[in-house]
Each structure stands twice: as structure tokens, then as C-alpha cells.
């Protein structure tokens, strides 16, 4: 739904008197030179140097959906009969007619969460910025939310998760960011208004359909309205559906689409989202904000949020020194915010900075990843980092936490492996810039999102280049056997001369150059994975 100013004000009025201040001056958003248009965003935005230098961020994609330890989208799937999340919920917590996502919130304790220790570990693993999940599709604000009563100070851990992370990250000298996924809660949660199509409770509506504020009297959620959590019945599964296949097909067609509009006929939803977003950035002054949206949320509403964020940055820093990300951007939009490519690759070197975000396992903690040893390895993470950085991008990596806030032994080993690599090779990454080409090699990756599985296994012929402080770096993605050859650095393609080749952490390497390439002897030592060569000489910045 496209909303103009009149529509926004009508939505704010529908929310209640607490929004009166936002409806003034104008709508409580920061004044400044940036206007809520793509033209103004593009005209004023410049990619911050800190982001271009940072290259690696770590992400705490952590909230109440981590409690069941079953992976992603638990709050949606627990209401879909036949799904593994439904079966787990039925066995562990009870039937969703009586016990739903609302009840999981109270089980989110954060009892073993040590943010300073985790930030210290993440910093040693190479993180230059850290991102806290502020609100996921489950619609719980993980911060001191002024406009949404379902927040982590009132339920669950009863702590300001975002504020605590912010303090720990900034004490460690890291840039701090937040991620906001709440624009999609309204359609994501519609399964909670459904029912079992088969079985002994066939046709009985789930808890979102029946629970009201009065039901919470005398309970841990006394004074809260479940409809504010579950967002309201906007696309309810109709009665009469009597097979699981038909139920799944209905949800896929009606509420399973990734839409960037608000619920039809309910402008207050998008207006309240704007309130919550403005409150989030005002309170925590994030250096980075991730939107889980194609473009900006709710069209003009998202433009209001972007302009507000940029104008606040000007007030904080004297310039726009923040990063705002969106997905699937149009070409011109990539110069007004930063494009994020979720769990995907690019097959070429970008002119403008960009980011990919991924996870070592599932976004929300899934204990099966530990048990079946299916996490990404430290080697795979570094290979991905090298590929992204060589193409002018950053990597935002999620380390999932269970509900208690700890990380498991498998994750600790991955972070330790990353830290060991960084201790030797970090100059090839941080503060670097792309070379004239990103690299070479037989492994092919496909352009686009959600395509990590399409990448083949990297070999020692797969090379990625970066430049830093006058040197050229060649990152060898696979494990070389004794020597490595780099075709792009052959005498027939490279202007100038190579004078010295050094293996980081291993000393000077014997090398020879001919028209076929640069051939480097690595028999005297190499990194356990992704060895890095520093190549120095004359004319290394130009290709023939």
C-alpha cells in the first residue's frame, strides 16, 4: 500500500494518542537536508570510509525463536501442521490452539549471555562492526521500545538486548548496527490464525485467533494484547480446508509472499513501523541499519525512515556517516543506500560498495547443525570473505545463539580458526580496495540471492585479488600443492615488473614470471587454509 503524508497521519491517528508527537513537526522525524525521495538519498549519500575499510561484520541474529533450537521461522512454521516445527512444538510445548509463539517469549531467558566476552571473541575473529537483531518477523522488539509493548524489557529476558550489545561493541571499538525485520510480521504471522486441517483438533483455531488482552490477567503477560504481537487477522485461513496440501497452498498464495506493502486497509501498521524505527535509531544511534526488505519498507514510509536516519547522522556526525541496506535494489537506488545480497554471490566486480549476509548455519539457532557438524567451516568463511572483498563488498556473518545467549563448541572452533587466519593475513582484507580484476579460476558462482549452494568447491587455481598500501595481494582459495600459478600476473598481461613475493606468515618466496603467469614456490611453508601472497613491484596497478 502506497501511503502519502495524509495516509501516514491517518494511520498514526488510528494507533492512539501516544503518537501525537510524531504526527507533528513533521511526524517527529529528524529535520535536515535529506528528503524522503530516492533522488535526495542518492544526491546526499556517500559510502562511509569506515564501512569500506571494515569488510567484516558479525551479527547476533538472536531472539525468542532461538529457544526451541529448531532453526528458522519457527514462529510461522509451528502453526503449519505437518511441518517439523509444528511436530516439535506439539511434542515439546503443546498444541498451538493453547500454546503458541507468545508462550515461547517467556522461555527466552538469556541466562548464559555474556556480551562482553562474545564481542571480544568476535573482534579477535576479525569483526570491525557488530549487528544486533532489533526485531524479527516474530514482532518482539529486543530493545527499550517506546511504541511497542511487546519488547524484551517487559517479557523474556527483561533486558535491553540492543542497548547492552551496543555498549559492549562500542567499548571494544567496533561500529554498531541493528537489523529490523518487522515490516513483514503482518503476513508472516497469519498462520497463527489458522487451524489443523486434519486430526483430532481439526478446524479448531490457533491461539492468535482466540487470545485477547483479558486472557493475560494474572499471568506473566498481564496488561499486554496478543493481537498487538500477532499483528491482527489480515489474511485468515478460511474454514473448510481439510488437507495439509491445501493448507500449504493457501498460505503460499495469500501470506507466504515476500511483499513490501502493509496489510490492506490498515495504514496504521506501516505508520507504527515508522514510529518504532525512528525510536530505534534515535535511542541507539546505530552506525549501520539492515532492512530485511526489497528496496525500502512500505515505499514512501521507508523513504521517510531513510531520510530520518540520514538527517540524524548529519546531526550526530556533521555528515552522513552511516550505512543503510536493502535488497534487490534498482541500479540508481544502489547509490542512495547499500545493496545487501542475502546468502548469495556476485559474479563480477562492483563499482559501488555492497554487502552479502550469511550465517554459519541457520539464521536462528538449530542444534542439529552442531550435532551433524554441518556448520560452515572457518576455511569456508574465509574463502567467502576473500571472494566478497575482491568484488568491492563486505561480509556480514551471523553466529547463531541458543535462547540462553551462549555459543556452542563448534562455533567457538570456527571463530578461533578465523582469529588464527586474521592474525597472519588481515592486511589483505581490512582497509583494502579491489584490484583491476577480482580474480581468476575455474570455480563459478552465480549472481543473485539465496544461491550459496550453487558455488563449486574452490581450488588452488581460484585466486582473489586485493590491494592495500601499495601492495597487491593474491588470496589462494584452495590448498596449493607446492606451488601456485596466477595467469593474470603473466608477463603478457601485466605492465611493469614483479620484484618480490612474500607469503604472509611464511617469508619470501621464490618465483618466476612468464607469459603464462606468475609461478610461486610455496614448499617452504603456507597457511593452513587460504594462503595469502603479498606481491610488490612496479606497475602492478595496471593491466595490459
Q: What is the pLDDT of residues 525-537, one digit of tens each?
A: 666 899 999 999 9
Residue 1: the pLDDT is 33
Bridge partners (DSSP) of residue 183 are none
Same-domain pairing of 471 and 326:
no
Q: Please give the backbone phi and psi of residue 209, each rounded to the nearest 5 degrees, phi first.
A: -75, -30
The CATH code of the domain that includes 504 is 2.60.40.1180
**Considering only CA atoms, which of 493, 481, 486, 427 is closest in space to residue 462?**
486
Report the SS3 class of residue 368.
helix
Residue 106: the pLDDT is 97
Note whether residue 38 is domain-resident: yes
Residue 453: the pLDDT is 81
DSSP code of residue 510:
-
CA dist 45 and 319 (Å) reads 9
Same-domain pairing of 161 and 18:
yes
The CATH code of the domain that includes 163 is 3.20.20.80
- The radius of gyration of the chain's CA atoms, rounded to the nearest angstrom, is 25
Note whether residue 172 is domain-resident: yes
For 252, the grid coordinates are 503460499
Domain termination residue (choose one: 342, 368, 403) = 342
Note whether residue 386 is domain-resident: no
Tally of structural domains, the chain: 2
Domain termination residue (choose one: 342, 364, 385) = 342
Range of the domain at 486: 439-538
Note whether residue 335 is domain-resident: yes
Same-domain pairing of 180 and 310:
yes
Same-domain pairing of 337 and 443:
no
Note whether residue 135 is domain-resident: yes
Note whether residue 410 is domain-resident: no
Same-domain pairing of 168 and 42:
yes
Domain termination residue (choose one: 342, 376, 401) = 342
Same-domain pairing of 337 and 450:
no
Q: Which residues of the chain have pLDDT under 70?
A: 1-27, 525-527, 541-544
Same-domain pairing of 27 and 132:
yes
Note whether residue 421 is domain-resident: no
Note whether residue 512 is domain-resident: yes
CB half-sphere exposure, 265, CA atoms < 13 A: 4
The DSSP string of 184-224 is GHHHHGGGGG-BBSSSTTBT-B-HHHH--GGGGTTSTTTT-
Same-domain pairing of 51 and 177:
yes
Q: What is the pLDDT of residues 270-307, one digit of tens each?
A: 999 999 999 999 999 999 999 999 999 999 999 999 99
Q: What's the predicted TM-score (pTM) here? A: 0.94
Amino acid at each position: 500500500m502506497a501511503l502519502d503524508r495524509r495516509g501516514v497521519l491517518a494511520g498514526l491517528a488510528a494507533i492512539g494518542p501516544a503518537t501525537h508527537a510524531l504526527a507533528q513537526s513533521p511526524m517527529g522525524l529528524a529535520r535536515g537536508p535529506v528528503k524522503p525521495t530516492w533522488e535526495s538519498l542518492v544526491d546526499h549519500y556517500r559510502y562511509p570510509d569506515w564501512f569500506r575499510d571494515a569488510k567484516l561484520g558479525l551479527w547476533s541474529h538472536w531472539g525468542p525463536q532461538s529457544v526451541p533450537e529448531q532453526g528458522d521461522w519457527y514462529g510461522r512454521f509451528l502453526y503449519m501442521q505437518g511441518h517439523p516445527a509444528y511436530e516439535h512444538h506439539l511434542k515439546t510445548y503443546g498444541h498451538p490452539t493453547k500454546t503458541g509463539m507468545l508462550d515461547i517469549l517467556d522461555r527466552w531467558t538469556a541466562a548464559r549471555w555474556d556480551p562482553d566476552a562474545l564481542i571480544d571473541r568476535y573482534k579477535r575473529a576479525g569483526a570491525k562492526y557488530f549487528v544486533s537483531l532489533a526485531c524479527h518477523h516474530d514482532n518482539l522488539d529486543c530493545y527499550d521500545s517506546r511504541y511497542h509493548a511487546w519488547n524484551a524489557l517487559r517479557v523474556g529476558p527483561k533486558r535491553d538486548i540492543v542497548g547492552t550489545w551496543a555498549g559492549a561493541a562500542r567499548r571494544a571499538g567496533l561500529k554498531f548496527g541493528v537489523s529490523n525485520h518487522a515490516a513483514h510480521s503482518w503476513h508472516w504471522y497469519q498462520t497463527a490464525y489458522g487451524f489443523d486441517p486434519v486430526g483430532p483438533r481439526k478446524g479448531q483455531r490457533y491461539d492468535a485467533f482466540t487470545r485477547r488482552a483479558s486472557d493475560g490477567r494474572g499471568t506473566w503477560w498481564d496488561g499486554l494484547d496478543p493481537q498487538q504481537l500477532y499483528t491482527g487477522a489480515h489474511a485468515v485461513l478460511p474454514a473448510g480446508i481439510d488437507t495439509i496440501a491445501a493448507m500449504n497452498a493457501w498460505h503460499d498464495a495469500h501470506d507466504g509472499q515476500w511483499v513490501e506493502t502493509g496489510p490492506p486497509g490498515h495504514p496504521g501498521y506501516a505508520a507504527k513501523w515508522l514510529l518504532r524505527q525512528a525510536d530505534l535509531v534515535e535511542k541507539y544511534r546505530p552506525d549501520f541499519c539492515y532492512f530485511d526488505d526489497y528496496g525500502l519498507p512500505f515505499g514512501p514510509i521507508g523513504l521517510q525512515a531513510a531520510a530520518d536516519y540520514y538527517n540524524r547522522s548529519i546531526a550526530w556526525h556533521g555528515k552522513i556517516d552511516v550505512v543503510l541496506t536493502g535488497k534487490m535494489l534498482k541500479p540508481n537506488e544502489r547509490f542512495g543506500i547499500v545493496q545487501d545480497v542475502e546468502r548469495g554471490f556476485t559474479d563480477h566486480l562492483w563499482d559501488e560498495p555492497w554487502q552479502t549476509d550469511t550465517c554459519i548455519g541457520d539464521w536462528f539457532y538449530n542444534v542439529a547443525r552442531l550435532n551433524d557438524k554441518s556448520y560452515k567451516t572457518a576455511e569456508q568463511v574465509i574463502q567467502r570473505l576473500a571472494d566478497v572483498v575482491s568484488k568491492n563488498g563486505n561480509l556480514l556473518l551471523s553466529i547463531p545463539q541458543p535462547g540462553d545467549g551462549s555459543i556452542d563448541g563448534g562455533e567457538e572452533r570456527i571463530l578461533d580458526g578465523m582469529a588464527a587466519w586474521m592474525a597472519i593475513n588481515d592486511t589483505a582484507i581490512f582497509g583494502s580496495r579491489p584490484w583491476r580484476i577480482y580474480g581468476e579460476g575455474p570455480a563459478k558462482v552465480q549472481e543473485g540471492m539465496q544461491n550459496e549452494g550453487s558455488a563449486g568447491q574452490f581450488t588452488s587455481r581460484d585466486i582473489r585479488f586485493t590491494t592495500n598500501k601499495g601492495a597487491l595481494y593474491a588470496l589462494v582459495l584452495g590448498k596449493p600443492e607446492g606451488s601456485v600459478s596466477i595467469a593474470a600476473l603473466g608477463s603478457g598481461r601485466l605492465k611493469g615488473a614483479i620484484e618480490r613475493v612474500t607469503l604472509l606468515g611464511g617469508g619470501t618466496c621464490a618465483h618466476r614470471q612468464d607469459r603464462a603467469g606468475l609461478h610461486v614456490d610455496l614448499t617452504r611453508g603456507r597457511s593452513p587454509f587460504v594462503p595469502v601472497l603479498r606481491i610488490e613491484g612496479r606497475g602492478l596497478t595496471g593491466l595490459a
